[in-house]
């Protein structure tokens, strides 16, 4: 039961800071289980105290390291310049609050194309994507990458992109 809920939680982890929190929580449960094994009454008071103090110190150090790494990962991702894209690639910048449907239409409009959605649920079409700039070799690549930019990590976003050049259409097939 506990392991199932741990696996459900970890499958939804999407940021380094959240991952650090999960790791610290798992370590807490492991250490708590060790302490509940009741091996400490067999030890001297001083030795048992040293073990517990060592566990607390190591979890604290791990938590500090995780917080620093999580924060630094966020800062680097936020403020680091985008890598130079090859000359034959394109990029787009999505404003905050952009839905999947709006993002696909914006990308298609860059090629003077339209977007057509086939069998897509309203929840997917209205799902918000991360704001910011990203790039790819083609507009089709950009549309395909959108499935990794959903703000809701649990969004079921299975779709294929078909580029029908002669009709000027990007057709999104959801399943």
Q: Any idea where the domains of the chain sit in the sequence?
A: 2-79, 90-174
**Cα separation of 83 and 153, whole Å?**
25
Q: Is the pLDDT of residue 81 over 80?
A: no
The chain-wide mean pLDDT, for the chain, equals: 83
Per-residue pLDDT at 84 exceeds 70: no
- The H or E element spanning position 45 is helix 45-79
**Tens digits of residue pLDDT in 40-62:** 667 777 887 888 888 888 888 88
pLDDT at 30 over 80: yes
The answer, yes or no, to whether residue 85 has pLDDT greater than 60, is no
Handedness of CA 56, 57, 61, 67 (dihedral sign): positive
Reported as a pLDDT band with limits 50, 70 and 90, residue 129 is: very high
**What CATH number belongs to 90-174?**
3.55.50
Residue-level pLDDT at 155: 72
**Percent of the chain beyond pLDDT 90?**
33
């Amino acid at each position: 039961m506990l392991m199932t809920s741990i696996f459900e939680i970890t499958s939804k982890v999407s940021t380094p800071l959240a991952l650090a929190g999960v790791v610290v929580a798992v370590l807490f449960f492991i250490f708590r289980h060790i302490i509940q094994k009741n091996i400490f009454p067999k030890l001297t008071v001083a030795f048992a105290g040293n073990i517990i103090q060592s566990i607390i110190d190591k979890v604290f150090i791990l938590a500090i390291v995780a917080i620093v790494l999580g924060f630094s990962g966020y800062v680097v991702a936020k403020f680091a310049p985008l890598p130079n894209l090859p000359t034959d690639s394109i990029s787009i910048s999505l404003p905050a609050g952009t839905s999947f449907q709006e993002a696909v239409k914006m990308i298609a409009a860059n090629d003077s194309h339209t977007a057509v959605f086939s069998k897509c649920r309203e929840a997917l079409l209205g799902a918000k994507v991360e704001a910011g700039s990203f790039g790819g070799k083609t507009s089709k690549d950009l549309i395909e990458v959108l499935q990794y930019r959903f703000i809701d990590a649990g969004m079921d976003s299975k779709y294929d992109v078909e580029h029908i050049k002669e009709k000027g259409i990007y057709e999104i097939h959801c399943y």
